Structure 1
């Protein structure tokens, strides 16, 4: 989610008064009110540069005072956040060229005052594709021998944002990004007029006990593996430290290991999972005394080794890794697999890359020039995908920020789509989070390039959060579908252009933190063929938390009782009940497959060759464009 601090109007207010001369403040305020061009934005950046010449301490004082005067958030928030952000902002301002493509990109991505500069030609080297594939890559043809199929249940959780300072009974209303803490005496339990419940509030990040509750429910779904796509740390961005971030890592990863200790968990790093928030150097030339994130990567690597039961796991200098998961014969009699010793085992590859290196609010990217391949992660990703292609392994890509999100800078998104196009027969899907709402993105090829478009669909309590918005007007052919749930009235907007070959899909799961909707998680069923190596994503089911009492979203007891499928019982007063919210195939399969045959009893699959792969979501967006009732 975006904070008020990051909104263009507030940033402009900060920039406008970034000078010690009152007359300059008045002049720039006047310019801001009439600002409609890149020229106006460049003027603001030049004023910031002038302020930075007075030194980082003076720049910090100026920006802190401006933040306090804005009265958008309180003085404590302003003082803490500005203090953590100014050193990097000072470094960038001192070497920023104005005008330049870097300055224009900043004005486009952060202040929304300019169009993006033209995307430069992609400078990536791809190995030639193999003359033949070691395994079959068809994903839509049904395997005639079902006994050679393995169905892998994959859980997907994201954006847990556990608040270790969450205090039941404190106020749900405050002048900070998250509440349910005792900031003042009047916030204390027993004194607040708007007390938060034991389990959470939509104005607050969740307590640790909600994570425990969710993981207990998730365990009952018997997943073979879990994907966790980042953002462990709470939204107290003004008050974090290395110590507080490490404490969050320890609490969340300990819960994951304890409650899901019978299967591996593969994770990626979120933009909140460091201190200061959002800052990940994209070049080895960034001074380590300015921002050092090695402690973050080291701590997470240690936890990931435990969660994967893989003591030899190695991460790159960017916090990325690649590993393999072997599909073992299942013990459940419902699994479609032979138990004969001659049945070959299947290995899939999990690649976790650090999408924060392409994040528009990562100020350390705005050097002149901006890095083409931050920390050479594109080069590393191509090498890992090429190895998987040669070995015949299918790949699950996991990351935090979606490629199709506006939060991914367009030039970097274009490179990622080029990589997806080259390895479209190897990558099963891209699994991510960040936007907090239920979303998907479809990638298309373009002429002689993979600069494709993306389609997004919000549901499960979507509030239209801007993090889930797709790139627009960047020369990418795309579709965008946003469903906004407001008092049961769904408003759907569609923007589509010409598209060509469907090359992949990004699956963005909703968050556990309830700040943008119901706390939720997903479970996918992916079928792999032992005999031919083909794969199909059969379905996913989404589960949400309902609160019989002290509801997060205002549900009554009767609302919770009306839900047909629950996964836990109400073990105590006000304890969450996790319900099966919907199945993708049940909800949308009838619109995609003309000869809809319904679902099997457990809600998975539709018979025949039905699946919810990239072509499913591409077809669904086409249907939604013409049938608003869908």
Structure 2
């Protein structure tokens, strides 16, 4: 779609919405366009339009938004940004002078260590049904309402698809458009609980399945409670530190700030209250004050070791609510709060793990730029940033933005591995080892050991066998997971083709073992070096 066509279409829609019965007309047209355009089948189209129309109509109808603004939002690469729309803004991180750079070093042999489980993007589908077809009419299959594979053929996107018995969903999951059965989730938790001796757990969001066209707040509350119960069942005495994912809300990606909770469909206090009830199983009450405001918090894990959980859904360009007024300007004051937390951590000689769901290269640019000013300012304090959302592995690095030191990395991020197989992935999790509690510990990450479940093998054998995939120290030949070491690793990807191809295989948790060609490699390395939104200057 061109920018000109988009603006003409938005203009027509806005005029229709202002007419009597306009909402009903637009709703009916949207369903027909969705179905006739082979976007989805009629059932999904009708449910999706109902799911999202309040949010979309509010932006289109009740705001003084003009077509050029909305089309820039929808088609950023094709439309020029209108003046004064989504303006830049600045959060002052600190007036305290930045201390000299203090590189992290490996601790002496024999010093204490801690281990923690990292998993993300669970996407557990309580309606997953082994034996049902993995080739259905809808974006999510392998469910109890799907046909059995031997019950005839199915039309998918206007193409007749012959169903075979091999199309049946397996006991432990499926590579196609299917999410995770509960037995696979519990298999992983049992494996870790019985073998790894972990000290705490980090989870970076996305609990529900991908049936985003048909979810209610009651559905999401139920899934969050199931997640809580499973963790308490398998890890009754282990603390859990979580971040909220974009799929926890209903509709998906819907995180309006409190200032518009009085608008139709905008009040998500139910989600914030549910997160509070869940997370209070592990987080002290005195540290939960901002959870009911915006689903972010900070707490001490050990003396000198702090976790900060951010809600990066407030930075997302998937949220229509952020088009409202100045809502995109530091929603809920989260970054101002974050800067204050980091200054206090520096003052108290603490070390900080930052966890959130969305990697910040997917944020709106002003939010991303402000975030990384804070990251650069407190690089001595930050251990690492742990993200989810991508379902795959990624090792983003942030280069220092002072041109005199541009070849030094100030911070690292570690994305994934995701737990869901959606789509064409194996399931995975990681066990991190870090410096433990002792005088002078900086709690640096020492290694990360990834495990995966070969879905094909598990379904053939009828049992889930979680296999060690790799460790950074043993298989990538790094000393630890500090910024200088991971920068050396990324630099080696340029020249060591075998090492890079191993990394490429690990992205999908050993599902895709094909070679990554020159174009693929260039894109992959650019992804690693791009951690700010709309900035590929280090590629």
The reply to whether TM is greater than 0.5 is yes
- Hey, what does 1:582 align to over in structure 2? 470
- Hey, what does 2:438 align to over in structure 1? 530
Judge conservation of contact 2:132–2:146 (CA < 8 Å) in 1: no
Change in CA separation of 1:199 and 1:131 when aligned onto 2, cut-off 3 Å: closer
Change in CA separation of 1:121 and 1:86 when aligned onto 2, cut-off 3 Å: closer
* 2:369 paired residue among 406, 414, 426: 414
Give the SS at the match of 1:227.
strand
- Hey, what does 1:371 align to over in structure 2? 328
Query: 1:75: Cα distance to partner?
Result: 1.0
- Hey, what does 2:354 align to over in structure 1? 397
1:92 matches 2:59:
yes
1:546 matches 2:454:
yes
Query: 1:285: Cα distance to partner?
Result: 3.2
* 1:113 paired residue among 78, 96, 102: 78
Give the SS at the match of 1:428.
strand
Distance in 1 (alpha carbons) for counterparts of 2:106 and 2:119: 29
Distance in 1 (alpha carbons) for counterparts of 2:283 and 2:371: 30
Query: 1:200: Cα distance to partner?
Result: 1.3
- Hey, what does 1:197 align to over in structure 2? 170
Distance in 2 (alpha carbons) for counterparts of 1:181 and 1:247: 18
1:622 matches 2:500:
no
Change in CA separation of 1:325 and 1:184 when aligned onto 2, cut-off 3 Å: closer
Distance in 2 (alpha carbons) for counterparts of 1:369 and 1:47: 26
Judge conservation of contact 2:220–2:249 (CA < 8 Å) in 1: yes
- Hey, what does 2:276 align to over in structure 1? 301
Judge conservation of contact 1:446–1:500 (CA < 8 Å) in 2: no
- Hey, what does 1:358 align to over in structure 2? 315
Give the SS at the match of 1:440.
coil
- Hey, what does 2:417 align to over in structure 1? 510
- Hey, what does 1:569 align to over in structure 2? none
* 1:249 paired residue among 220, 224, 239: 224
- For structure 2, list consecutive stretches of 5 or more residues without a partner in the other structure: 153-162, 500-539
* 2:142 paired residue among 152, 162, 180: 180
State which drifts further: 226-235 or 280-289.
280-289
Give the SS at the match of 2:280.
helix
Distance in 2 (alpha carbons) for counterparts of 1:283 and 1:309: 23
- Hey, what does 1:281 align to over in structure 2? 256
> TM-score, normalized by length of structure 2?
0.82
Change in CA separation of 1:383 and 1:415 when aligned onto 2, cut-off 3 Å: same
User: Number of aligned pairs?
Assistant: 478
1:290 matches 2:265:
yes
Query: 1:57: Cα distance to partner?
Result: 2.8
Change in CA separation of 1:447 and 1:121 when aligned onto 2, cut-off 3 Å: farther
Judge conservation of contact 1:152–1:224 (CA < 8 Å) in 2: yes
1:521 matches 2:429:
yes
Distance in 1 (alpha carbons) for counterparts of 2:350 and 2:263: 37
> TM-score, normalized by length of structure 1?
0.71
Change in CA separation of 1:58 and 1:150 when aligned onto 2, cut-off 3 Å: farther
Distance in 2 (alpha carbons) for counterparts of 1:574 and 1:266: 33
Query: 1:265: Cα distance to partner?
Result: 0.8
- Hey, what does 1:140 align to over in structure 2? 104
Distance in 2 (alpha carbons) for counterparts of 1:69 and 1:157: 39
Correspondence 1:375-386 to 2 at 5 A = 375-386=332-343
Change in CA separation of 1:618 and 1:195 when aligned onto 2, cut-off 3 Å: same
- Hey, what does 2:505 align to over in structure 1? none
Distance in 1 (alpha carbons) for counterparts of 2:430 and 2:82: 38
Query: 1:617: Cα distance to partner?
Result: 2.0
* 2:122 paired residue among 155, 160, 174: 160
- Hey, what does 1:124 align to over in structure 2? 91
- For structure 1, list consecutive stretches of 5 or more residues without a partner in the other structure: 1-31, 327-345, 450-497, 552-556, 558-572, 593-609
Change in CA separation of 1:619 and 1:578 when aligned onto 2, cut-off 3 Å: same
What are the Cα deviations for residues 310-359 of structure 1, in whole angstroms up to 9, with x where unaligned? 35541421111111112xxxxxxxxxxxxxxxxxxx33111111111111
Distance in 2 (alpha carbons) for counterparts of 1:311 and 1:403: 28
Change in CA separation of 1:288 and 1:325 when aligned onto 2, cut-off 3 Å: farther
* 1:501 paired residue among 396, 404, 408: 408
Correspondence 1:428-443 to 2 at 5 A = 428-443=383-398
Distance in 2 (alpha carbons) for counterparts of 1:251 and 1:187: 30
What are the Cα deviations for residues 209-259 of structure 1, in whole angstroms up to 9, with x where unaligned? 111101011222111111000000110111111111111111121111110
State which drifts further: 290-299 or 56-65.
56-65
Judge conservation of contact 2:322–2:328 (CA < 8 Å) in 1: yes
Judge conservation of contact 1:169–1:192 (CA < 8 Å) in 2: no
- Hey, what does 2:298 align to over in structure 1? 322
What are the Cα deviations for residues 530-570 of structure 1, in whole angstroms up to 9, with x where unaligned? 2323343211000001247564xxxxx7xxxxxxxxxxxxx
Distance in 1 (alpha carbons) for counterparts of 2:67 and 2:407: 36
Judge conservation of contact 1:96–1:103 (CA < 8 Å) in 2: no
Give the SS at the match of 1:325.
strand
Distance in 1 (alpha carbons) for counterparts of 2:352 and 2:257: 25
Give the SS at the match of 2:294.
coil
1:423 matches 2:423:
no
1:212 matches 2:191:
no
What are the Cα deviations for residues 356-386 of structure 1, in whole angstroms up to 9, with x where unaligned? 1111211111235552211211111112112
What are the Cα deviations for residues 262-290 of structure 1, in whole angstroms up to 9, with x where unaligned? 21110011101011111101461353432
Distance in 2 (alpha carbons) for counterparts of 1:282 and 1:538: 38
1:48 matches 2:3:
no
Change in CA separation of 1:120 and 1:428 when aligned onto 2, cut-off 3 Å: farther
Query: Which structure: greater helix fraction?
Result: 2
Judge conservation of contact 1:172–1:196 (CA < 8 Å) in 2: yes
What are the Cα deviations for residues 466-500 of structure 1, in whole angstroms up to 9, with x where unaligned? xxxxxxxxxxxxxxxxxxxxxxxxxxxxxxxx944
Judge conservation of contact 1:140–1:611 (CA < 8 Å) in 2: no
Judge conservation of contact 2:123–2:208 (CA < 8 Å) in 1: yes
What are the Cα deviations for residues 88-140 of structure 1, in whole angstroms up to 9, with x where unaligned? 111111225336666524321xxx4346679955421223336879xxx8443
Query: 1:433: Cα distance to partner?
Result: 0.4
Distance in 1 (alpha carbons) for counterparts of 2:115 and 2:458: 32
Distance in 1 (alpha carbons) for counterparts of 2:151 and 2:374: 53
Distance in 1 (alpha carbons) for counterparts of 2:389 and 2:18: 36
